[in-house]
Chains A and B, each alone.
Chain A
Amino acid sequence: MLTITDLRCTYGDKTVLDIPQYTLAPGVHGIVGLNGAGKTTLLNALYGFGRNPTAKVQWKGADMFHGNTAFQEAESFFHPGITGAEYLELFMPTSGANDAQALNALLEVPLDTLISTYSTGMKRKLVLLGVLRLDREVVLLDEPVNGLDLASVRVMEAIVRQLAEHGRTVLITSHVLGPLVATCDRIHLLEAGAFTRSFERGHTDGLEEALFADLDARTQAVVAGWANTRER
């Protein structure tokens, strides 16, 4: 069980995240929200960055820390001049059982070449391999499908489901609803830095409506106004 208590993040005077109390059961959780809703800030804060000192983030009753959490960040940066294999060497598996590099047979990252020659998708997959290699109990994936081709998205979905079956808790943020609906046990709607609703697996019908209701109304009004201006 992942418990969040009194979690707040501010940029200057602006509060971008405010979660007084929230609990996530083991499994796969999707976090959705429009730009600026606080998705990346939430994952950063769960990993220990930028949160208020009084915040409590606990996993199975104990404080969550880097030792039991792995984090795939939204931006993929690498030290220049190293190969994919050299990057993965840094991520020492806690047990010999989880050899994430074996998954590369499916992901097809050219590990023996320089990372600087990789495409965006390859870089994302390499970061994912590093995260999996750490074999942590909580896995935070920020926009993991960005830049991935359709085949890799399917592989990633299978990997995430496998992690959940092995008792890991996975939190995924995404702008693309398809992979979230396919993999998540529960999808949480984040609006203006607070969780407003959540949808269970198989009951996500109202998700798009909840996410886009306000936007759709505004879009209709603006587009209609724009069309009228053109006609005139």
Chain B
Amino acid sequence: MDALAITCVAFRNARCPIITGASRAVSTATLIRPLVYPRGARHRDFPNLVAMNASASSVLLRLRWLQLRSAAPGYGVPLMAAAAVAVVWLLSNAVLNDASRAPYIAGGAVLLVSGLHQRRADLHFLHRHVPRARWAMALEYGVLVLPVLLGLLLGTAWAWAVVVLLACALPWLPVVRSSGVRAVWLRKWVPAHLFEYRSMLQSTYPWSLLLWLAAVAFCWLPLLPLFLVGIVAMMAVGAQEQCEPRAMLLAAAPDARALLRTKVLGSARLMLFVLLPVLIGATIFQPQWWWIHVLFGMGMVVLVAYAVVLKYAHYRPNERLSANGVNMGIAMVFSILPGLSLVPLIMLLSELRNARVNLTTYFHAHHH
């Protein structure tokens, strides 16, 4: 068996997190199949694929390319290329207009990649199965920061461009991996039936807490606290993407109506707990904008409640409802536009019946 095929089999057998974690919307099988038997490939094409050397440092990049081709529609790749060009143009303009922005851009890029590296789920797998794994990751990070690097170079911020290149050295730094439970003290405040938010804390702590603390600390500034606490609300929305198993669903409430009630009201209560300190602080410092703060707060609570209802309208045990992201995106845009925050509320009410009907199929034994 050739080297690539061995890698492919290893990836498949190990349920490689590089695939399951990085692109959850697409099943592992869908992603791996093109590696072994590319869609539409003829027998005589196969030697070309075999010619790809799994031990080369570019193996991760080639896997990403295949993942992208498999997951994105035909116009996805040109769109991404256009987005990359736009990023280069925006960043170079930003630096040319104000050179003091360069350190923030360079630092932000390195921090971002550093965060990705520290949290990458496939690290152990790569070290075990991919020859020259560090070089493969370095190359991957290099491509990731390439638009930033080009932007800084075109903006003549040479020194900061070199700093961005530090991202390629990250694979040689030690990874502090905590397999323990995060935010133990904080998750005790979350009721058991709202386990989604405990899960959210596990994946976002301490950043979620830092964002919230920053929102409270900077509540004397206009807009910034709303922006920061808005990100925390988005994290709460994201927590509703993963469906729980059937046993957890049935254990959380005696019937569909009760489940929706406890989940929606519980989520709204948690959101109010998160939002109120920031909004009260912001209103004390900017009293003339009290109505904006009220509308924003209501918008965020409705948004999270809508995320809960949308999840249960499409609930399927153990599945990740990535497709709900489109509806959530629309609701999100409307919830931050003043005067249009009623739209998410209408969306919520229209999905409520669907959620009840869908959940009843899982609780239906109660209605005998």
A residues lining the B interface (CB < 8 Å): 47-49, 63-67, 69, 71, 73, 77-83, 86-87, 89-92, 112-114, 117, 127, 130, 134
Contacts and interface: CB of A to CB of B under 8 A. Distances in A.
Contacts of A79: 195-196, 199, 242, 244-245, 248
Contacts of A81: 198-203
A90 B245 contact: no
B199 A90 contact: no
20 contacts: A64-B368, A65-B365, A66-B254, A66-B363, A66-B366, A67-B366, A69-B365, A71-B247, A73-B246, A79-B199, A80-B199, A80-B242, A81-B203, A82-B199, A83-B181, A89-B192, A90-B195, A114-B179, A114-B180, A130-B251
A78 to B, nearest CB: 6
A86 B195 contact: yes
Interface string B38-72: 00000000000000000000000000000000000
B248 A87 contact: yes
Contacts of B368: 48, 63-65
Interface size class, chain B: 20 to 34
Contacts of B252: 90
Interface in B103-159: none
Contacts of B366: 65-67
A112 B187 CA distance: 13
A67 B254 contact: yes
Interface of B: 179-181, 187, 192-193, 195-196, 198-203, 242, 244-248, 250-252, 254, 317-318, 362-366, 368
Contacts, number: 79
Given A86-B192, A89-B192, A66 B242 contact: no
Given A63-B368, A66-B363, A134 B251 contact: yes
A66 B195 contact: no
A112 B180 CA distance: 9
Main secondary structure of the interface of B (DSSP, over half): helix
B198 A66 contact: no
Contacts of A73: 245-247
A63 B365 CA distance: 9
Contacts of B242: 79-80
Contacts of B181: 83, 112-114
Contacts of B250: 66
A182 B199 CA distance: 40
A86 B247 contact: no
Most chain B CB within a 10 A radius of its CB, from A47, A73, A79: A79
A125 to B, nearest CB: 14
Contact of A90 (B193, B317, B364, B365): B193
Nearest to B188: A86
A82 B193 contact: no
Nearest to A71: B247
Contacts of B179: 113-114, 117
A82 B195 contact: yes
A66 B366 CA distance: 6
A63 B368 CA distance: 7
A71 to B, nearest CB: 7
A66 B365 CA distance: 6
Contacts of B245: 73, 77-79
B292 to A, nearest CB: 34
Nearest to B361: A49
B200 A90 contact: no
Nearest to B204: A81
B317 A77 contact: yes
A147 B4 CA distance: 32
A89 B247 CA distance: 13
Contacts of B246: 73
Interchain residue pairs A-B with the least CB separation, the first 10: A48-B365, A81-B199, A81-B202, A89-B192, A77-B245, A63-B368, A77-B318, A90-B251, A79-B244, A65-B365
A79 B196 CA distance: 8
A217 B250 CA distance: 44
Contacts of A92: 251
B16 to A, nearest CB: 16
A64 B365 CA distance: 8
Given A87-B248, A90-B193, A114-B179, 6 more contacts: A49-B362, A67-B254, A79-B248, A82-B202, A92-B251, A113-B179
Contacts of A69: 365
Most chain B CB within a 10 A radius of its CB, from A81, A83, A92: A81
Contacts of B247: 71, 73, 127, 130
A132 B317 CA distance: 21
A67 B253 CA distance: 11
A37 to B, nearest CB: 22
A82 B198 contact: yes
Contacts of B365: 47-49, 64-66, 69
Contacts of B195: 79, 82, 86-87, 90
Most chain B CB within a 10 A radius of its CB, from A49, A86, A87, A130: A86
Nearest to A80: B199
B193 A48 contact: no
A82 B244 CA distance: 11
Nearest to A55: B368
Given A66-B250, A67-B366, A79-B242, A113 B198 contact: no
A33 to B, nearest CB: 23
